[in-house]
Structure 1
Amino acid sequence: MPRPRTCPCGHPRPYTGCCAPLHNGRPAATAEELMRSRYTAYALGHTPHLLRTWHPRTRPAHIDLDPRTHWTGLNIHTTTGGTAFHTEGTVDFTAHYLDGPLPLTLRENSRFLRHHGHWTYLDAHP
């Protein structure tokens, strides 16, 4: 998996100081941080991180990423909860991508829950 210089999640930090530690197993401090790391995992094809951070109640058995999809940007609109003081949170975002040559967007309000003390992705509402 190639390592980008800046993090695909939209932070100006380098990937190695932003989402890479989470991809290597460090727990996310907030629901937003987990959401950003999951976007980056989709962008880089890092399916182990996606599966590891998916709540067991809704986790699929496997993920097949479409090789034609190229993730191009992330905008966070709002968050609710999702801090060290919460057990649940939401992140409303728009993800930009190319499906082959066609530019598209995905608008989603993702729900996150703590599971055994760690933030996990539960599900999404369009």
Structure 2
Amino acid sequence: MIGLALTLIICFLVVVSITPLVKRFAIKIGATDKPNHRKVHQNVMARLGGLAIYIGFLVGFVLLQPESPYMWPILIGSFIIILTGFLDDMLELSAKWKMLGQIAAAAVVVMGGFM
């Protein structure tokens, strides 16, 4: 139980510490949301927040090193989700493409459990 709590704390600290770097990266590559009449925010907002969370997840995954047949399907599926989110933040994908990415990620995880 102590190992799980320590991993949780480490993941939290990784996400908190890497978020400013991801924010600067998002601004540098133009992954930003600009205010308009439909938006609540008044300033340019950096996107890619999911990337910081994903990096924290990967750190926790490496620390716990789960010995499971589901390890690779989860890693591949989560990578597809983060890639879909990254592309959406950069290119503003249509709902059809976002759903396709989510279905692909879910299929990898579900089918990976049966192989």
Answer 1 or 2: higher relative contact order, Cα 8 Å, separation at least 6.
2
More strand by share: 1
TM-score, length-scaled by structure 1: 0.25
> Between Structure 1 and Structure 2, whose CA radius of gyration is higher?
2
TM-score, length-scaled by structure 2: 0.27
